[in-house]
Structure 1
Amino acid sequence: MSLPLALDVASAKPAGKRPYFLEQEVERVLGIAMAAVQELAVARQRMDTLERILEAKGVMTREEIDAFRPDADQAAERGLWMQEYLVRVLRIVQQEGEAIAADARGDIRSEEVAVELSDRA
């Protein structure tokens, strides 16, 4: 996935105002932390699966995996992945910045349209 595509995917959000149940700043940090936790949990499960299969088939040991050092191309690919990952994890900060910019431009939000339409009924 390219960085521009990752930015588009990370920007996807439901219409309407984000509900907050705690202080907004606490919710923001919690959202970031939970995104990281989710990513890590999935990665750990997949990594464990791969290591067990490789070891069971006699392809390589876990020690060989631990000793691996990426070459320049592999390191660059990992760097791109890291940028895409950070975009996903920090999505809430980006979306809040976009909301602030939309307010500054005077953009109309979907919830405002809904209120206006319901007032007419």
Structure 2
Amino acid sequence: MSVNDAIAEAGAKAAGKRPYFLNEEVETVLAITMAAVQELAVARQRIDTLERLLEGKGVLSRSEIETFSPDPSAAVERALANQEYIARVLRIVQQRGEAASQPDDVASEDVGNEIGARA
């Protein structure tokens, strides 16, 4: 998978326009913040698990983890993972841009207007 494929996949959207219950800009910032919070919470749990298992089995200490420096290959993998992460966090901004550039796209229709039209 290429970097562009991974980023495009991370930003894929469901059909229909996102409904907003608050101010659109406020919800955008909230969505970005919550995506970052969710990613961080999962990462912290996994890191804690790994550190406890490794230290408990005497494989390495947490101080060794703190002083680790990745080799060039690992650094490239980390850079790709960071780009995918950023794409997921900023997904809503990407989708808003896509919807604005494709106003006739059925997948970008305003769900709120659609519901109001049926009432």
Give the TM-score normalised by structure 2.
0.84
Q: Is the 8 A contact 1:6 1:88 kept in 2?
A: no
Give the Cα–Cα distance (whole angstroms) in 1 for the partners of residues 93 and 105 of structure 2. Answer: 20
Question: What pairs up with 1:30-109 in 2 under 5 angstroms?
Answer: 30-103=30-103, 107-109=104-106
> What displacement does 1:72 show?
1.9
Q: Could you tell me which amino acid in structure 1 is paired with residue 77 of structure 2?
A: E
Aligned to 1:18: 18
How many pairs align?
112
Post-superposition offset of 1:21: 1.0
- Cα 1:62–1:94 change in 2 (3 A) is same
Distance in 2 of aligned mates of 1:30 and 1:2: 30
The normalised TM-score by structure 1 is 0.82
Identity rate of aligned residues, in percent? 62
Alpha-carbon deviations, 1:72-109, whole Å to 9, x = none?
A: 22212111111111111111000000000001xxx242
- Structure 1 stretches of 4+ with a deviation exceeding 6 A read none
Instruction: Please give the root-mean-square deviation of Cα atoms over the aligned residues, in Å.
Output: 2.0
Q: Deviations over 1:15-66 (max 9, x none)?
A: 1121111110010011001100010000000000000000110000111111
